[in-house]
């Protein structure tokens, strides 16, 4: 059974303390009508957008909060609060990559020092959630390769998913998979379905679904 990890609890308790100690904007659901009026009078005001996004987040309107906070960031919101609550909103929606990017924006913006350790922990957690989602996707792809039972002692190796801001490391995603393929092949009694073969089959399936090829060609 999978358990949904919510960003509430400890981190939100820290936010309540930090709001008093570091001057994070305060906004509550009851403020939403007033903040909407202020925004109508001053469209694009980064401070009002940030406070409205925070209020919407606290009202569990996470998709709307993310949209408003995106606007706040684009409008030049400072202090990191918009990035912080944007990350929380994305996290509530299970959008791990977007949440991690927003938290990174909080750190880059010089957000509250009292929260930086907690946010780095959230970023690490988001990275793990991304890997879990990628693994589930890979398993779903593998299951879609054939409706027939797999051949005994066969194994498929997909590229790894690297969670890093360093684009220079991206080739490792394929290189590590190729190393595993080589090692498994040396075992002798395993049938290894290589990455290229898998991708060819997936591409064939995509073309078939689009009507560009006949299923029999696969």
Written as six digits, the tokens of 74 are 């684009």
In a domain, 4, yes or no: no
- pLDDT (0 to 100) of residue 218: 42
**Cα atoms in the Cβ-side hemisphere of radius 13 Å centred on 97:** 10
What is d(CA 14, CA 20) in angstroms, rounded to the nearest whole number? 10
- pLDDT (0 to 100) of residue 196: 54
Q: What is the pTM of this model?
A: 0.62
28-36, Cβ contacts within 8 angstroms, sequence gap of 24 or more = 28/55, 28/58, 29/55, 29/56, 29/58, 29/59, 31/55, 32/56, 32/59
Please write the tens of the pLDDT for every residue from 46-81: 999 999 999 999 999 999 999 999 999 999 998 889
**102: CATH:** 1.25.40.10
Judging by beta carbons within 10 Å of its beta carbon (0-12, 13-18, 19+), is residue 53 exposed, middle or buried?
buried
Do 87 and 110 share a domain, yes or no?
A: yes
In a domain, 136, yes or no: no
Q: Which domain holds residue 48?
A: 9-130
SS3 192: strand
SS3 193: strand
- pLDDT (0 to 100) of residue 21: 42
Are 160 and 177 in contact, with CB atoms under 8 Å apart? yes
Chain centre distance of CA 120? 15
Do 109 and 161 share a domain, yes or no?
A: no
Are 171 and 147 in contact, with CB atoms under 8 Å apart? no
Residues of the chain with pLDDT under 70: 1-23, 111-113, 135, 138-139, 141-150, 193-218
In a domain, 88, yes or no: yes
- pLDDT (0 to 100) of residue 143: 65
- Count structural domains, the chain: 2
Written as six digits, the tokens of 125 are 């957690």
- pLDDT (0 to 100) of residue 176: 82
In a domain, 85, yes or no: yes
In a domain, 3, yes or no: no
Do 36 and 68 share a domain, yes or no?
A: yes
Q: Cα–Cα distances in Å, from 42 out to 45, 55, 73, 79, 186?
A: 6, 18, 16, 20, 67
Do 119 and 198 share a domain, yes or no?
A: no
Q: Pick from 30, 80, 22: which is nearest to 50 by CA? A: 80
């Amino acid at each position: 059974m999978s358990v949904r990890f919510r960003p509430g609890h400890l981190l939100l308790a820290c936010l309540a303390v930090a709001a008093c100690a570091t001057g994070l904007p305060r906004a509550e659901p009851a403020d939403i009508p007033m903040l909407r009026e202020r925004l109508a009078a001053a469209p694009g005001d980064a401070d009002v957008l940030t406070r409205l996004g925070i209020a919407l987040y606290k009202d569990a309107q996470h998709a709307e909060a993310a949209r408003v906070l995106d606007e706040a960031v684009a409008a030049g919101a400072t202090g990191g609060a918009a990035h912080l609550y944007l990350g929380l909103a994305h996290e509530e929606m299970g959008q791990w990559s977007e949440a991690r990017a927003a938290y990174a924006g909080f750190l880059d913006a010089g957000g509250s020092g009292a929260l930086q350790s907690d946010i780095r922990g959230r970023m690490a957690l988001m990275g793990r959630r991304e890997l879990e989602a990628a693994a589930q996707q890979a398993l779903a792809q593998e299951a879609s390769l054939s409706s027939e039972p797999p051949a005994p002692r066969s194994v498929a190796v997909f590229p790894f998913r690297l969670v890093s801001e360093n684009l220079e490391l991206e080739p490792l995603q394929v290189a590590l998979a190729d190393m595993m393929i080589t090692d498994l092949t040396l075992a002798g009694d395993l049938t290894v379905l290589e990455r290229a073969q898998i991708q060819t089959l997936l591409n064939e399936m995509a073309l078939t679904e689009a009507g560009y090829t006949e299923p029999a060609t696969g």
